[in-house]
């Protein structure tokens, strides 16, 4: 049993010694002390079904035994030496990752986070194209560093500093977007930005394939195909941010961009790639990677042996446990049950997503789509009491984000929906 400090003690210490910009979920913050696969435990031993996976990060499951043993074995042998020496783990992991990529996406750079991956991708796009301007979607999250904060288009994260030359185009959101599901009208906005807001040339375009922080928003079907063509015509490269959507989570495909039938020039990854290890990657073509050779691109921990051994184990476990298919099966069961619940409760405005990347948008009026912000907050607290942890997001904080570890099963899905049903009936 746990005998460390209480939630109150930890919270006090955190307030004293950690920055005031930290935020926490729940009126009384949770003190999580242990995790096993899709379950988390607080200091009193209360079990929670984890439907948020540390923000879509724990892909295989908390403390997955095979990943733990790969990490432990490498830890005992060598923890760190940097890429100035050879190490087989980094090369093996890069090979394993490249094997998962379509087309000519074969060159890997390892970094430590999604923010770093997007920074590097943007640098490559600018060097390769010789242009500066980036096109990104409104409602996107791509990081919080000085450069990626410009790509991010959610007010919560936008500190007032220079943001670089970024063109934020209309978000192709089928539920709330002004053009519904009409990809060509949204794409026209990209062309308008290129024609009127730039010299006619851009460095690149970046987007998630299902917006994560923005509230599990799937892009209008066919959008990326149209936009990738426009961007390439304007001299830019196309970047897919797979930080949340990658590794089979969408069920139908291993990579989110495949749901839109495109092949990007650069793909960025983090979170699920390491099942909790600090790890990110940028994968691109040999031609684009070549622009980095004019200088040295160095990252002390990028591809560190322990992270590489863990990352390779993640790839193997996902294949061995057939997680992509599992996400498809459990995801369609979950989405089906949520759609039934939508028949019962008017507050559910939209149920969307793919596989185990699901969003539930709550509204007080289905026609006006008025965000049910206060109700979402109440339900969120009640779910926690019932032992279910979900994510919250979207422009108005009225979207539940269901993105559990991929070992989440149909019984878990039923428990989650039953808890939601009960909470909604008590509203």
Q: What string marks each residue from 202 to 231 as x (binds ligand PMP by CB under 6 A) or -?
A: ------x---xx------------------
Q: State which residue, 109 or 194, has the beta carbon closest to ligand PMP.
A: 109
Q: State which residue, 113 or 324, has the beta carbon closest to ligand PMP.
A: 113
Q: Do residues 271 and 244 touch, judged by C-beta distance below 8 A?
A: yes
50 to 69, contacts with ligand PMP by CB under 6 A? Answer: 55
**Three-state secondary structure call for residue 135:** strand
Cβ atoms < 10 Å from Cβ of 426: 9
- 302 near ligand PMP, rule: CB under 6 A: no
Query: HSE of 410 in the Cβ direction (CA atoms, 13 Å)?
Result: 8
335-400-24-150 Cα dihedral, nearest 10 degrees? 100
- 119 near ligand PMP, rule: CB under 6 A: no
- Nearest to 314, CA basis, from 51, 59, 144: 59
Helix axes 410-425, 323-344, angle to 10 degrees: 20
Indicate which single residue of 115, 308, 376, 398 sits in contact with ligand PMP (rule: CB under 6 A): 115
Q: Do residues 98 and 290 touch, judged by C-beta distance below 8 A?
A: no
- Nearest to 183, CA basis, from 263, 261, 103: 261
- Nearest to 157, CA basis, from 145, 165, 174: 145
- 141 near ligand PMP, rule: CB under 6 A: yes
Which of these ranges, 33-41, 111-119, 288-296, 326-334, lies near ligand PMP under the rule CB under 6 A? 111-119
- 113 near ligand PMP, rule: CB under 6 A: yes
Q: State which residue, 114 or 353, has the beta carbon closest to ligand PMP.
A: 114
Indicate which single residue of 244, 275, 284, 423 sits in contact with ligand PMP (rule: CB under 6 A): 244
- 96 near ligand PMP, rule: CB under 6 A: no
Residue 11: strand pairing partners? none
**Minimum gap (Å) between residue 118 Cβ and ligand PMP:** 6
**Minimum gap (Å) between residue 19 Cβ and ligand PMP:** 15
Edge-to-edge strand order for the sheet containing 280-284? 107-111, 280-284, 266-269, 237-241, 204-208, 134-137, 166-169
**Minimum gap (Å) between residue 350 Cβ and ligand PMP:** 20
Indicate which single residue of 241, 265, 350, 412 sits in contact with ligand PMP (rule: CB under 6 A): 241
**Minimum gap (Å) between residue 280 Cβ and ligand PMP:** 6
**Which tokens hold the place of 372?**
């049910």
Which of these ranges, 136-144, 291-299, 337-345, 417-425, lies near ligand PMP under the rule CB under 6 A? 136-144
**Minimum gap (Å) between residue 336 Cβ and ligand PMP:** 26
Residue 351: strand pairing partners? 360
* φ and ψ of 307, to 5 deg: -65, -40
Q: Do residues 245 and 214 touch, judged by C-beta distance below 8 A?
A: no
Q: State which residue, 118 or 173, has the beta carbon closest to ligand PMP.
A: 118
Cα–Cα separations (whole angstroms), residue 347 to 51, 237, 340, 363, 376: 21, 41, 13, 5, 9
- 142 near ligand PMP, rule: CB under 6 A: yes
- State the residues that interact with ligand PMP by CB under 6 A: 55, 113-115, 118, 141-143, 208, 212-213, 241, 243-244, 270
């Amino acid at each position: 049993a746990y005998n460390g400090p209480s939630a109150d003690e930890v919270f006090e210490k955190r307030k004293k010694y950690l920055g005031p910009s930290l935020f926490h979920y729940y009126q009384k913050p949770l003190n999580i002390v242990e995790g096993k696969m899709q379950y988390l435990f607080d200091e009193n031993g209360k079990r929670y079904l984890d439907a948020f996976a540390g923000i879509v990060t724990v892909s295989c499951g908390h403390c997955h035994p095979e990943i733990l043993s790969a990490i432990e074995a490498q830890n005992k042998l060598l923890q760190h030496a940097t890429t100035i020496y050879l190490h087989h783990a980094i090369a093996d992991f890069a090979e394993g990752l490249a094997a998962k990529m379509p087309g000519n996406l074969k060159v890997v750079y390892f970094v430590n986070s999604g923010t770093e991956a997007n920074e590097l991708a943007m640098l490559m796009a600018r060097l390769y194209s010789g242009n500066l301007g980036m096109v990104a979607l409104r409602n996107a999250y791509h990081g919080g560093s000085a450069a990626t904060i410009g790509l991010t288009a959610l007010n919560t994260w936008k500190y007032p500093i220079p943001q670089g030359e970024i063109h934020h185009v209309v978000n192709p959101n089928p539920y709330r977007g002004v053009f519904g599901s009409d990809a060509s009208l949204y794409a026209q906005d990209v062309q308008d930005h290129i024609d009127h807001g730039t010299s006619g040339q851009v460095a690149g375009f970046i987007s998630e394939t299902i917006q994560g922080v923005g509230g599990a928003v799937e892009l209008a079907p066919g959008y990326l195909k149209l936009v990738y063509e426009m961007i390439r015509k304007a001299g830019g490269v196309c970047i897919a941010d797979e930080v949340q959507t990658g590794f089979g989570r969408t069920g139908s495909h291993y990579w989110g961009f495949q749901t839109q039938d495109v092949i990007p020039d650069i793909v960025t990854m983090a979170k699920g790639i390491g099942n909790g290890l600090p790890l990110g990657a940028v994968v691109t073509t040999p031609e684009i990677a070549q622009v980095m050779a004019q200088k040295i691109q160095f990252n002390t921990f990028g591809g560190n042996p322990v992270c590489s051994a863990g990352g390779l184990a993640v790839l193997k476990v996902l294949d061995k446990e057939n997680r992509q298919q599992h996400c498809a099966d459990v995801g369609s069961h979950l989405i089906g049950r949520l759609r039934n619940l939508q028949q019962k409760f008017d507050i559910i405005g939209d149920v969307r997503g793919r596989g185990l990347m699901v969003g539930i948008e709550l509204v007080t009026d289905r026609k006006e789509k008025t965000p049910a912000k206060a109700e979402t907050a109440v339900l969120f607290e009640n779910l926690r009491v019932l032992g279910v942890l979900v994510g919250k997001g979207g422009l108005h904080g009225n979207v539940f984000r269901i993105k559990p570890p991929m070992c989440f099963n149909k019984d878990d899905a039923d428990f989650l929906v039953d808890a939601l049903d009960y909470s909604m009936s008590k509203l």
